[in-house]
Homo-oligomer: A and B are copies of this chain.
Amino acid sequence: MRSERTGAFSDAVIAIAITVMVLELPKPDGPSWAALRADVPVLLAYVLSFVYLGIYWNNHHQMLAAVSRVSSSVLWANLHLLFWLTLVPFTTAWMSEQDFAAVPVAAYGIVLLMNALAYMLLQARLLHAQDGRSTLHRALGRDLKGRLSPFLYVAGILLTLVHPWLAIATYVVVAAIWLIPDARIERQLARDAEVPDASTTE
């Protein structure tokens, strides 16, 4: 099976998950800047979740671009990731409605953690399906960011016991780390394009 339709389906789910969050944004409760200001934390939560879904879309995009065929187990690993991505709007809305109380903020972090683990699982299934010297293999290398993030999410979740805003600060830090796009894959693709016989000479 080719990877295009998997990419398209994932695009649709992520695009809708983003827009569902817009639907759930409470409209300011009056025609004044003060009413809008009361909405600012909720809007910032939207920005954070938008950035997270954007990061996943971006890296997903690049990962699938390095792959041409997908197996059944990859399809299911991908659906598993999409499942956790669809819960991002759910926890975003709960967290926003409950004024960023500790428990919903921890639940938000748990969903982020599950997304990270689901992404690692998908990556592992994709690597399994490729041969060891593939573009994807060489590009990922040691994958520091990927290995670090789950620990940071766990730290964030535990920090809700101290103060929820410490947890949110942690989530923002992880997003900032990932905002630096997965330049490894992009570089490797460019290198392969320049040296077409790379896979045989290396």
- Measured CB to CB, the residues of A under 8 A from B are 1-2, 5-9, 11-20, 22-25, 27-28, 30-33, 35-36, 47, 50, 54, 57-58, 61-62, 65, 71-73, 75-76, 79, 82-83, 86-87, 89-90, 93-94, 97-99, 101-104, 107, 179, 181-183, 186, 189
Are B19 and A17 in touch, CB under 8 angstroms?
A: yes
CB distance from A154 to the nearest CB of B (A): 17
Nearest residue, chain B, Cβ from A14:
B9
**A and B contact pairs by CB, cutoff 8 A, 23 listed:** A1-B189, A2-B65, A5-B7, A5-B61, A9-B11, A9-B15, A9-B61, A17-B22, A19-B20, A22-B89, A22-B90, A23-B24, A27-B90, A31-B99, A32-B103, A36-B103, A54-B76, A57-B79, A58-B76, A61-B75, A62-B72, A72-B181, A72-B182
User: Which of chain B's residues have a CB closer than 8 A to the CB of A94?
Assistant: 27-28
CB distance from A179 to the nearest CB of B (A): 8
Most buried by B among A22, A102, A103: A22
Known: A28-B94, A31-B102. A57 touches B9 (CB 8 A): yes
User: Complex: how many Å from CA A72 to CA B61?
Assistant: 10
User: Complex: how many Å from CA A16 to CA B61?
Assistant: 20
User: Complex: how many Å from CA A28 to CA B98?
Assistant: 9
Are B20 and A23 in touch, CB under 8 angstroms?
A: yes
CB distance from A183 to the nearest CB of B (A): 7
Are A86 and B31 in touch, CB under 8 angstroms?
A: no
Known: A1-B62, A57-B9. A22 touches B103 (CB 8 A): no
Nearest residue, chain B, Cβ from A180:
B72
Most buried by B among A1, A32, A72: A72
